Structure 1
Protein backbone atom coordinates (compact mmCIF):
# COMPACT_ATOMS: atom_id res chain seq x y z
CA UNK A 1 0.00 0.00 0.00
CA UNK A 2 1.34 3.38 -0.99
CA UNK A 3 1.00 6.22 1.52
CA UNK A 4 -0.14 9.56 0.18
CA UNK A 5 2.51 12.26 0.39
CA UNK A 6 1.95 15.02 2.96
CA UNK A 7 3.10 18.22 1.38
CA UNK A 8 3.84 21.21 3.66
CA UNK A 9 4.18 19.35 6.98
CA UNK A 10 7.72 20.64 7.41
CA UNK A 11 6.56 24.19 6.73
CA UNK A 12 3.92 23.95 9.48
CA UNK A 13 6.52 22.64 11.95
CA UNK A 14 8.89 25.49 11.09
CA UNK A 15 6.09 28.06 11.57
CA UNK A 16 5.09 26.63 14.96
CA UNK A 17 8.71 26.46 16.11
CA UNK A 18 9.34 30.04 14.97
CA UNK A 19 6.23 31.24 16.82
CA UNK A 20 7.39 29.56 20.04
CA UNK A 21 10.89 31.04 19.77
CA UNK A 22 9.48 34.51 18.96
CA UNK A 23 7.13 34.33 21.97
CA UNK A 24 9.98 33.41 24.30
CA UNK A 25 12.13 36.25 22.93
CA UNK A 26 9.31 38.79 23.40
CA UNK A 27 8.79 37.61 27.00
CA UNK A 28 12.53 37.84 27.72
CA UNK A 29 12.75 41.33 26.25
CA UNK A 30 9.75 42.47 28.30
CA UNK A 31 11.27 41.01 31.45
CA UNK A 32 14.58 42.78 30.81
CA UNK A 33 12.82 46.11 30.33
CA UNK A 34 10.84 45.62 33.56
CA UNK A 35 13.96 44.62 35.52
CA UNK A 36 15.75 47.71 34.20
CA UNK A 37 12.86 49.96 35.31
CA UNK A 38 12.90 48.37 38.76
CA UNK A 39 16.66 48.85 39.03
CA UNK A 40 16.39 52.53 38.11
CA UNK A 41 13.51 52.99 40.58
CA UNK A 42 15.54 51.33 43.32
CA UNK A 43 18.52 53.55 42.48
CA UNK A 44 16.36 56.69 42.81
CA UNK A 45 14.95 55.52 46.15
CA UNK A 46 18.44 54.85 47.47
CA UNK A 47 19.67 58.25 46.29
CA UNK A 48 16.67 59.93 47.94
CA UNK A 49 17.34 58.15 51.23
CA UNK A 50 20.95 59.35 51.20
CA UNK A 51 19.88 62.90 50.32
CA UNK A 52 17.33 62.96 53.15
CA UNK A 53 19.96 61.68 55.59
CA UNK A 54 22.38 64.33 54.34
CA UNK A 55 19.65 66.94 54.91
CA UNK A 56 19.30 65.98 58.56
CA UNK A 57 23.08 65.95 58.98
CA UNK A 58 23.33 69.40 57.39
CA UNK A 59 20.83 70.81 59.90
CA UNK A 60 22.82 69.18 62.70
CA UNK A 61 25.89 70.93 61.32
CA UNK A 62 24.03 74.25 61.44
CA UNK A 63 23.01 73.49 65.02
CA UNK A 64 26.63 72.80 65.94
CA UNK A 65 27.68 76.15 64.48
CA UNK A 66 25.03 78.24 66.23
CA UNK A 67 21.61 77.20 67.46
CA UNK A 68 20.63 80.82 68.10
CA UNK A 69 21.50 82.13 64.64
CA UNK A 70 20.95 79.12 62.40
CA UNK A 71 18.18 77.01 63.92
CA UNK A 72 16.14 78.96 66.49
CA UNK A 73 15.24 81.58 63.87
CA UNK A 74 13.56 79.07 61.53
CA UNK A 75 9.80 79.36 61.03
CA UNK A 76 7.88 76.18 61.91
CA UNK A 77 6.15 74.65 58.90
CA UNK A 78 8.11 76.68 56.34
CA UNK A 79 10.13 74.77 53.76
CA UNK A 80 13.81 75.55 53.43
CA UNK A 81 16.34 74.39 50.85
CA UNK A 82 19.90 73.44 51.70
CA UNK A 83 22.66 75.24 49.85
CA UNK A 84 26.39 74.54 50.06
CA UNK A 85 28.15 77.90 50.44
CA UNK A 86 31.94 77.76 50.20
CA UNK A 87 32.67 75.44 53.14
CA UNK A 88 29.38 75.17 55.05
CA UNK A 89 25.67 74.53 54.70
CA UNK A 90 23.09 77.32 54.60
CA UNK A 91 19.30 77.36 54.42
CA UNK A 92 17.55 79.26 51.64
CA UNK A 93 13.94 79.71 50.55
CA UNK A 94 14.75 79.44 46.83
CA UNK A 95 13.95 76.00 45.40
CA UNK A 96 16.91 74.11 43.98
CA UNK A 97 17.08 70.76 42.21
CA UNK A 98 19.78 68.24 42.99
CA UNK A 99 21.14 66.51 39.87
CA UNK A 100 18.26 68.10 37.93
CA UNK A 101 15.92 65.55 39.50
CA UNK A 102 15.60 65.65 43.28
CA UNK A 103 13.84 68.37 45.26
CA UNK A 104 15.03 68.38 48.90
CA UNK A 105 13.31 70.46 51.56
CA UNK A 106 13.92 70.82 55.26
CA UNK A 107 11.25 71.97 57.69
CA UNK A 108 11.00 72.28 61.46
CA UNK A 109 8.13 71.88 63.88
CA UNK A 110 7.89 73.13 67.43
CA UNK A 111 7.85 70.48 70.15
CA UNK A 112 5.78 70.63 73.34
CA UNK A 113 6.41 69.00 76.69
CA UNK A 114 3.94 67.99 79.38
CA UNK A 115 4.24 68.48 83.16
CA UNK A 116 6.61 65.46 83.38
CA UNK A 117 8.86 67.04 80.71
CA UNK A 118 7.89 64.29 78.24
CA UNK A 119 7.27 65.14 74.59
CA UNK A 120 3.53 65.63 74.14
CA UNK A 121 1.03 66.88 71.57
CA UNK A 122 0.08 69.76 73.85
CA UNK A 123 1.82 71.49 76.70
CA UNK A 124 4.65 73.96 77.07
CA UNK A 125 6.77 74.69 73.99
CA UNK A 126 10.40 73.66 74.40
CA UNK A 127 12.56 76.39 72.81
CA UNK A 128 15.60 74.09 72.75
CA UNK A 129 13.98 71.25 70.79
CA UNK A 130 12.75 71.05 67.19
CA UNK A 131 11.35 68.21 65.12
CA UNK A 132 13.30 68.43 61.85
CA UNK A 133 11.98 66.77 58.69
CA UNK A 134 14.00 66.33 55.51
CA UNK A 135 11.87 65.46 52.47
CA UNK A 136 13.16 64.45 49.05
CA UNK A 137 10.81 64.34 46.03
CA UNK A 138 11.47 63.20 42.49
CA UNK A 139 9.36 62.53 39.39
CA UNK A 140 8.58 58.99 38.32
CA UNK A 141 6.53 57.53 35.51
CA UNK A 142 3.59 57.26 37.91
CA UNK A 143 3.78 60.78 39.41
CA UNK A 144 5.97 62.21 42.16
CA UNK A 145 7.52 60.07 44.88
CA UNK A 146 8.61 61.49 48.25
CA UNK A 147 10.93 60.09 50.90
CA UNK A 148 10.88 61.70 54.37
CA UNK A 149 13.10 61.37 57.41
CA UNK A 150 12.50 63.11 60.74
CA UNK A 151 14.60 63.57 63.86
CA UNK A 152 14.54 65.62 67.02
CA UNK A 153 17.20 68.30 67.20
CA UNK A 154 18.23 69.82 70.53
CA UNK A 155 20.28 72.82 71.51
CA UNK A 156 22.99 70.41 72.58
CA UNK A 157 25.80 72.94 72.90
CA UNK A 158 23.65 75.76 74.35
CA UNK A 159 24.95 78.13 71.71
Structure 2
Protein backbone atom coordinates (compact mmCIF):
# COMPACT_ATOMS: atom_id res chain seq x y z
CA UNK A 1 0.00 0.00 0.00
CA UNK A 2 2.03 2.90 1.24
CA UNK A 3 5.69 2.83 0.79
CA UNK A 4 7.44 4.43 3.73
CA UNK A 5 10.68 6.01 2.89
CA UNK A 6 12.94 6.83 5.76
CA UNK A 7 15.55 9.45 5.09
CA UNK A 8 18.34 9.17 7.64
CA UNK A 9 20.46 11.92 6.20
CA UNK A 10 21.39 14.49 8.83
CA UNK A 11 20.39 12.42 11.86
CA UNK A 12 24.00 12.13 12.96
CA UNK A 13 24.35 15.90 12.58
CA UNK A 14 21.33 16.40 14.86
CA UNK A 15 22.85 14.10 17.49
CA UNK A 16 26.09 16.10 17.40
CA UNK A 17 24.19 19.41 17.75
CA UNK A 18 22.14 18.10 20.70
CA UNK A 19 25.22 16.62 22.41
CA UNK A 20 27.10 19.90 21.89
CA UNK A 21 24.22 21.89 23.39
CA UNK A 22 24.10 19.61 26.44
CA UNK A 23 27.86 19.88 26.87
CA UNK A 24 27.67 23.68 26.50
CA UNK A 25 25.04 23.90 29.26
CA UNK A 26 27.17 21.75 31.56
CA UNK A 27 30.30 23.85 30.93
CA UNK A 28 28.39 27.12 31.44
CA UNK A 29 26.91 25.77 34.68
CA UNK A 30 30.33 24.81 36.01
CA UNK A 31 31.83 28.18 35.03
CA UNK A 32 28.90 29.99 36.65
CA UNK A 33 29.45 28.02 39.85
CA UNK A 34 33.14 28.95 39.85
CA UNK A 35 32.22 32.60 39.35
CA UNK A 36 29.84 32.57 42.30
CA UNK A 37 32.44 30.79 44.45
CA UNK A 38 35.13 33.35 43.61
CA UNK A 39 32.78 36.30 44.23
CA UNK A 40 31.74 34.86 47.59
CA UNK A 41 35.35 34.18 48.52
CA UNK A 42 36.39 37.74 47.71
CA UNK A 43 33.42 39.12 49.65
CA UNK A 44 34.38 37.04 52.69
CA UNK A 45 37.96 38.30 52.39
CA UNK A 46 36.75 41.92 52.60
CA UNK A 47 34.57 41.08 55.59
CA UNK A 48 37.48 39.40 57.35
CA UNK A 49 39.82 42.32 56.62
CA UNK A 50 37.25 44.78 57.96
CA UNK A 51 36.93 42.72 61.15
CA UNK A 52 40.69 42.85 61.65
CA UNK A 53 40.71 46.63 61.11
CA UNK A 54 37.90 47.07 63.65
CA UNK A 55 39.72 44.96 66.22
CA UNK A 56 43.00 46.76 65.57
CA UNK A 57 41.24 50.09 66.18
CA UNK A 58 39.85 48.83 69.49
CA UNK A 59 43.31 47.60 70.52
CA UNK A 60 44.86 50.97 69.64
CA UNK A 61 42.30 52.77 71.80
CA UNK A 62 42.94 50.37 74.70
CA UNK A 63 46.69 50.85 74.29
CA UNK A 64 46.31 54.64 74.33
CA UNK A 65 44.04 54.44 77.38
CA UNK A 66 46.63 52.29 79.16
CA UNK A 67 49.43 54.67 78.17
CA UNK A 68 47.64 57.87 79.24
CA UNK A 69 43.94 58.49 79.80
CA UNK A 70 44.32 62.09 78.62
CA UNK A 71 45.15 60.84 75.09
CA UNK A 72 41.53 59.83 74.61
CA UNK A 73 39.62 61.70 77.32
CA UNK A 74 40.35 65.07 75.68
CA UNK A 75 38.82 64.07 72.32
CA UNK A 76 35.80 66.12 71.22
CA UNK A 77 32.55 64.12 71.04
CA UNK A 78 31.00 63.56 67.57
CA UNK A 79 34.23 64.55 65.80
CA UNK A 80 35.61 62.16 63.19
CA UNK A 81 39.02 60.82 64.20
CA UNK A 82 41.51 58.36 62.75
CA UNK A 83 44.71 56.62 63.80
CA UNK A 84 48.23 57.19 62.57
CA UNK A 85 51.08 54.77 63.18
CA UNK A 86 54.34 56.52 63.96
CA UNK A 87 57.73 54.85 64.31
CA UNK A 88 57.13 53.58 67.82
CA UNK A 89 53.55 54.44 68.75
CA UNK A 90 50.09 55.41 67.58
CA UNK A 91 48.62 58.90 67.41
CA UNK A 92 45.15 60.30 66.74
CA UNK A 93 44.22 62.96 64.19
CA UNK A 94 40.99 64.50 62.92
CA UNK A 95 39.91 62.99 59.63
CA UNK A 96 39.73 59.64 57.90
CA UNK A 97 42.25 56.85 57.53
CA UNK A 98 42.55 54.86 54.29
CA UNK A 99 44.03 51.36 54.37
CA UNK A 100 44.09 49.13 51.27
CA UNK A 101 40.70 50.26 49.97
CA UNK A 102 39.10 50.57 53.42
CA UNK A 103 38.17 53.77 55.25
CA UNK A 104 38.45 53.72 59.04
CA UNK A 105 37.20 56.38 61.41
CA UNK A 106 36.16 56.53 65.03
CA UNK A 107 33.98 58.77 67.16
CA UNK A 108 33.80 59.24 70.91
CA UNK A 109 30.77 60.04 73.05
CA UNK A 110 30.39 61.10 76.64
CA UNK A 111 28.83 58.54 78.96
CA UNK A 112 26.14 59.45 81.47
CA UNK A 113 25.24 57.52 84.61
CA UNK A 114 22.03 57.45 86.61
CA UNK A 115 21.70 57.50 90.41
CA UNK A 116 22.61 53.78 90.57
CA UNK A 117 25.84 54.36 88.61
CA UNK A 118 24.38 52.50 85.62
CA UNK A 119 25.01 53.82 82.11
CA UNK A 120 21.97 55.77 80.93
CA UNK A 121 20.87 58.24 78.25
CA UNK A 122 20.70 61.07 80.77
CA UNK A 123 22.19 61.74 84.15
CA UNK A 124 25.59 62.74 85.44
CA UNK A 125 28.43 62.71 82.88
CA UNK A 126 31.11 60.19 83.87
CA UNK A 127 34.46 61.83 83.08
CA UNK A 128 36.24 58.49 83.59
CA UNK A 129 34.29 56.63 80.86
CA UNK A 130 33.88 57.21 77.14
CA UNK A 131 32.11 55.27 74.42
CA UNK A 132 34.07 54.85 71.20
CA UNK A 133 32.55 53.69 67.92
CA UNK A 134 34.89 52.52 65.17
CA UNK A 135 33.58 52.35 61.60
CA UNK A 136 35.24 50.56 58.68
CA UNK A 137 33.79 51.13 55.20
CA UNK A 138 34.60 49.83 51.75
CA UNK A 139 33.10 50.09 48.27
CA UNK A 140 32.06 46.86 46.60
CA UNK A 141 29.50 45.91 43.94
CA UNK A 142 28.34 49.52 43.42
CA UNK A 143 27.58 49.95 47.13
CA UNK A 144 29.38 51.02 50.28
CA UNK A 145 29.45 48.53 53.15
CA UNK A 146 30.12 49.74 56.70
CA UNK A 147 30.88 47.62 59.76
CA UNK A 148 30.97 49.13 63.26
CA UNK A 149 32.35 48.24 66.66
CA UNK A 150 31.43 50.12 69.83
CA UNK A 151 33.23 49.83 73.14
CA UNK A 152 33.39 51.56 76.49
CA UNK A 153 36.75 52.69 77.80
CA UNK A 154 37.28 53.56 81.44
CA UNK A 155 40.11 55.25 83.27
CA UNK A 156 41.26 52.21 85.22
CA UNK A 157 44.80 53.36 85.98
TM-score category (smaller protein): over 0.9
Cα distance in 1 between the residues matched to 2:152 and 2:28: 51
1:85 maps to which residue?
86
Cα distance in 2 between the residues matched to 1:144 and 1:4: 65
Shift of 1:3: 6.2
Equivalent runs, 1:1-12 vs 2, <5 Å: 4-12=6-14
Cα distance in 2 between the residues matched to 1:142 and 1:42: 17
1:45 maps to which residue?
47
List alignment gaps of at least 5 residues for structure 1: none
Q: Is the 8 A contact 2:80 2:95 kept in 1?
A: no
Cα distance in 2 between the residues matched to 1:94 and 1:32: 40
TM-score, length-scaled by structure 1 = 0.93
Cα distance in 2 between the residues matched to 1:33 and 1:107: 38
1:27 maps to which residue?
29
Q: Is the 8 A contact 2:62 2:153 kept in 1?
A: yes
Superposition RMSD on alpha carbons, in Å? 1.4
Shift of 1:52: 0.3
2:65 maps to which residue?
63
1:116 maps to which residue?
116
TM-score, length-scaled by structure 2 = 0.94
Q: Is the 8 A contact 1:53 1:134 kept in 2?
A: no
Cα distance in 1 between the residues matched to 2:82 and 2:19: 60
Cα distance in 2 between the residues matched to 1:95 and 1:2: 84
